[in-house]
């Protein structure tokens, strides 16, 4: 499964208890996302807010890009989706290309 954790860099802070480092969410530069074609504009509704996997499956053929799409749209959490007038969905090849960076 590919998620934002797949493209995060390892953090530099060491957990004092476990002696492990964790992925750094600030290491992803979402502003560097490149659109080769215009994104699809979708108005959020209750179905998308409650079952985002349905939209992800229809658009990308997988169900696990919702966290990336929220981040690209500067939406802090799925619970805030209805506060935004629209959601921009990049085309599949743009999203997959970004996930490989």
Q: Nearest CA to 97 among 27, 24, 49, 34?
A: 34
Backbone angles phi, psi at 21, to 5 degrees: -110, 160
CB 39 within 8 A of CB 93: no
Record the tokens describing residue 101, joined without a space. 């960076």
Checking if the pLDDT of 15 tops 70, the result is yes
Determine, yes or no, domain membership for 70: yes
- Is the model's pLDDT at 101 over the cut of 70? no
Residue 19 lies in a domain: no
Q: For residues 40 and 5, what is the distance between their CA atoms, to the nearest angstrom?
A: 24
| Type and span of the H or E element at 87 | strand 87-89
Instruction: Tell me which of 39-48, 61-70, 82-91 is least confident.
Output: 61-70
* Average pLDDT of the segment spanning 32-41: 95
d(CA 18, CA 78): 30
Q: How far apart are CA 30 and CA 68, in angstroms?
A: 9
Q: Residue 9 domain-assigned?
A: no
Asked whether residue 3 is domain-assigned, the answer is: no
Total domains in the chain come to 1
Q: What does the pLDDT average to over 1-29?
A: 83
Average pLDDT, the chain: 89
**Encoded tokens for 14:** 């060491």
Q: What is the pLDDT of residues 18-34, one digit of tens each?
A: 989 888 888 888 889 99
pLDDT the model gives residue 64: 85
CA-based Rg of the chain, rounded to a whole angstrom?
Answer: 15
* pTM as predicted: 0.79
Q: What's the whole-number mean pLDDT along residues 56-62?
A: 92
Domain carrying residue 54: 31-99
Domain membership flag for residue 13: no
Residue 35 has pLDDT above 90, yes or no: yes
Evaluate whether residue 37 is within a structural domain. Answer: yes
């Amino acid at each position: 499964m590919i998620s934002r954790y797949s493209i995060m860099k390892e953090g530099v802070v060491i957990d004092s208890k476990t002696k492990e480092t964790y992925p750094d969410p600030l290491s992803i530069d979402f502003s560097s996302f490149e659109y080769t074609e215009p994104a699809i504009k979708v108005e959020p509704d209750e179905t998308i807010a409650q079952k985002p996997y349905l939209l992800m499956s229809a658009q990308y053929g997988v169900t696990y890009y919702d966290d990336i799409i929220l981040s690209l749209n500067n939406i802090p959490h799925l619970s805030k989706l209805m506060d935004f007038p629209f959601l921009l969905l990049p085309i599949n090849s743009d999203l997959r290309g970004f996930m490989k960076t």
